[in-house]
């Protein structure tokens, strides 16, 4: 049986895409190399917060199946590659998953298929990396025998207002005909399409979106450090500045940036810029600021304890929020890990509370989890609010029996110190 869509990579991008396709009436299958992911999905257990188990069950009712047999790709009218683009140990782009997925798709590619890359990468990836692998592996030609496009993902985990359908979708193609086929496909899934001039423009647009946030978060982080040194309330400064109805977009400081996109995408942009002989100095400076924020937060916590006459070594410090953003379970690149690492270097005993994160490991060592918030606050020498989950409401936290270092600017009270 032929399929409308096969999604390659069933992570935080691929599974929501498959869910939306099923809801739109497309016959859809998923392919992933992770045995645990595939087994969980086929047991109707979702590993992605934006696709709960009930929605997953509905996908299977609509005919969706997940598997590890790449031959399913040969039955697809459209194949969308949604594999992760990570970093190497030295912070360079790692396209291992993209290359592997492209090779698998090439082996099963048939004439007339539309192949779309949604994974974030530097400009030229679609044309210079994916296209040669598809053509060489299949013996087919882009624009003649099959169609190749790039459409950057815009998934924002936990966002209740914007999902795949109502977020404008940028599409592009290696040829005008490729772009036309990509537009026809995505028009069945999303309300608004934006057609880029080419794949490089679409790839760069995605990197710009997240680098914009990266640089501006670094700016307000540095402003927060400056305000602290000058005795200025940075949170009041941010409140006042945000009242300007033009020329200013509000950002908030914190313990660092997390998730897959914001800490990673600027590295891809910087690598592409360096290769083009046009290094982005502002991005490099922003990286230095953001990389240093977990250290600053941990050292600030140590100073608070010392100022209260307590030794940091042996102190029990409670991290509130292990996820990288409010009210999600995603811990990828969360600042909780480097903050915990630095506190351990000070000799502190670190534990964490997060209702959505059952386990947290830092450098191979499990961080002790506090199952209940109130007893943990009562026993701690200091708490650090890293993520403003809904459960950390102001009425509860302002009555905290232990001092609180608030990195999110949400709390008030005599025992609260704000970043």
* Residue (of 176, 31, 17) closest to 105 by Cα position: 31
Nearest to 319 by CA among 254, 386, 391, 367: 386
Phi then psi for residue 48, to 5 deg, are -120, 125
Q: Looking at the structure, do residues 253 and 393 belong to the same domain, yes or no?
A: yes
Say if 208 falls within a structural domain: no
pLDDT of residue 81: 98
**Residue 184 shares a structural domain with residue 243:** no
What is the C-alpha to C-alpha distance for residues 230 and 235, in angstroms, rounded to an integer? 14
Asked if residue 4 lies in contact with residue 26, where contact means CB atoms within 8 angstroms, the answer is yes
Q: Residue 356 to residues 265, 325, 329, 341: CA-CA distances in angstroms?
A: 26, 11, 5, 21
Contact 68, 38 (CB under 8 A): yes
Last residue of one domain, picked from the residues 197, 219, 249: 197
Report residue 348 CA to chain centroid gap. Answer: 29
The answer to whether residue 164 is domain-embedded is yes
| Domain shared by 21 and 150, yes or no | yes
Q: Which two tokens stand for residue 197?
A: 């001039």
Same domain for 14 and 146, yes or no, is: yes
Per-residue pLDDT at 399: 86
> Are 183 and 318 within one domain?
no
Residues 204/161, Cβ–Cβ less than 8 Å: no
Alpha-carbon span 37 to 46, nearest angstrom? 8
Predicted confidence (pLDDT) per residue in 111-123, tens digit: 999 999 999 999 9
Question: What is the pTM for the complete model shown?
Answer: 0.92
Cβ partners under 8 Å of residue 404, min gap 6: 382, 383, 384, 385, 397, 411, 413, 415, 416, 417
Give the span between the Cα atoms of 73 and 138, in whole angstroms.
13
Closest CA to 215 of 260, 274, 273, 280: 280
* C-alpha–C-alpha distance, residues 297 and 322, integer Å: 14
Q: Are residues 309 and 190 in the same domain?
A: no
Are 241 and 185 in a shared domain?
no
Q: Which of 197, 219, 254 is the last residue of a domain?
A: 197
Do 160 and 292 reside in the same domain of the chain? no
Please count the structural domains in the chain: 2
On whether residue 203 sits in a domain, the answer given is: no
Query: What pLDDT does 91 receive?
Result: 87
* Alpha-carbon span 336 to 331, nearest angstrom: 8
Reported in sequence order, the residue ranges of 141-254 that DSSP labels E, i.e. its strands, are 147-150, 169-173, 193-195
Single out the residue in 197, 213, 246 at which a domain terminates: 197
Do residues 311 and 398 both lie within one domain?
yes
Same domain (yes/no): 255, 352: yes
Give yes or no for a contact between 88 and 51, defined as CB atoms under 8 angstroms apart.
no
Say how far apart CA 29 and CA 24 lie, in whole Å.
14
pLDDT at 49: 87
Looking at the domain assignment, is residue 169 inside a domain? yes
With respect to residue 223, please indicate whether it lies within any of the assigned structural domains: no
The pLDDT, as a whole number, for residue 339 is 97
Dist CA 331 CA 298 (whole Å): 18
Please give the pLDDT value at position 417: 92
In the chain, which residues have pLDDT < 50? none
Do 239 and 193 fall into the same domain?
no
The parent domain of residue 126 ranges over 3-197
Q: What pLDDT score does 260 carry?
A: 85
Tokens in use for 271? 């690598």
For 345, residues 6+ apart whose C-beta sits below 8 A from its C-beta are none
User: Which helix or strand (DSSP H or E) is residue 237 part of?
Assistant: helix 234-241
**Which residues are registered as beta bridge partners of 169?**
193
**Residue 219 domain flag:** no
Q: Which of 22, 82, 178, 261 is catalytic?
A: 261
Kindly report the CATH number assigned to the domain that includes residue 62.
3.40.50.720
**What letter does residue 73 receive in the DSSP assignment?**
G
Is 174 in the active site?
no
* Locus of tokens 């927060």: 224
Which tokens is 157 given? 């985990």
User: What does the pLDDT look like over 307-346, one tens digit per residue?
Assistant: 999 999 999 999 999 999 999 999 999 999 999 999 999 9
Task: Look at residue 209 and tell me if it is in a domain.
Answer: no
Token readout for 63 is: 């005919």
Instruction: Kindly state whether residues 167 and 286 are assigned to the same domain.
Output: no
Note whether residue 207 is domain-resident.
no
């Amino acid at each position: 049986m032929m399929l409308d869509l096969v999604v390659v990579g069933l992570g935080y991008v691929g599974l929501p895409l498959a869910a939306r396709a099923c809801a739109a009436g497309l016959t859809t299958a998923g392919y992933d190399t992770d045995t645990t992911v595939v087994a969980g999905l086929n047991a109707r257990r979702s590993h992605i917060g934006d696709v709960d188990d009930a929605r997953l069950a509905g996908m299977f009712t609509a005919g969706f199946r997940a598997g590890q047999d790449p031959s399913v790709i040969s039955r697809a009218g459209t194949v969308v590659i949604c594999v992760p683009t990570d970093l190497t140990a030295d912070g360079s782009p790692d396209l291992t998953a993209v290359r592997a997925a492209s090779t698998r798709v090439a082996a099963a590619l048939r004439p007339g298929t539309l192949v779309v890359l949604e994974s974030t990468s530097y400009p030229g990836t679609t044309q210079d990396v994916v296209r040669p692998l598809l053509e060489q592996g299949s013996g087919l030609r882009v624009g003649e025998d099959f169609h190749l496009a790039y459409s950057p993902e815009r998934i924002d985990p936990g966002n209740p207002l914007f999902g795949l359908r109502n977020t404008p979708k940028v599409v592009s193609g290696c040829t005008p005909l490729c772009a036309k086929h990509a537009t026809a496909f995505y028009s069945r899934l999303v309300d608004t399409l934006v057609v880029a001039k080419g794949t490089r423009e679409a790839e760069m647009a995605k990197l710009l979106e997240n680098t914009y946030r990266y640089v501006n978060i670094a700016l307000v982080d540095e402003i927060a450090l400056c305000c602290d040194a000058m005795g200025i309330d940075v949170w009041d400064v941010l409140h006042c500045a945000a009242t300007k109805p033009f020329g200013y977009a509000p950002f908030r400081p914190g313990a660092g940036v997390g998730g897959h996109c914001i800490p990673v995408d600027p590295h891809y942009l910087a690598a592409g810029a360096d290769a083009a002989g046009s290094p982005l100095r502002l991005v490099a400076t922003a990286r230095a600021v953001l990389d240093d924020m977990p250290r600053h937060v941990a050292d600030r916590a140590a100073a608070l304890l010392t100022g209260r006459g307590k030794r940091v070594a042996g102190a029990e410090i409670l991290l509130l929020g292990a996820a990288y953003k409010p009210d999600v379970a995603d811990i990828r690149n969360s600042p909780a890990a480097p903050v915990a690492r630095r506190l351990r270097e000070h000799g502190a005993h670190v534990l964490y509370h997060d209702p959505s994160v059952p386990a947290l490991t830092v450098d191979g060592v499990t961080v002790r989890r506090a199952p209940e918030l109130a007893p943990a606050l009562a026993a701690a020498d200091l708490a650090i609010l890293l993520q403003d989950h809904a459960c950390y409401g102001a009425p509860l936290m302002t009555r905290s029996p232990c001092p609180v270092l608030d990195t999110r600017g949400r709390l008030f009270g005599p025992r609260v110190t704000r970043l």
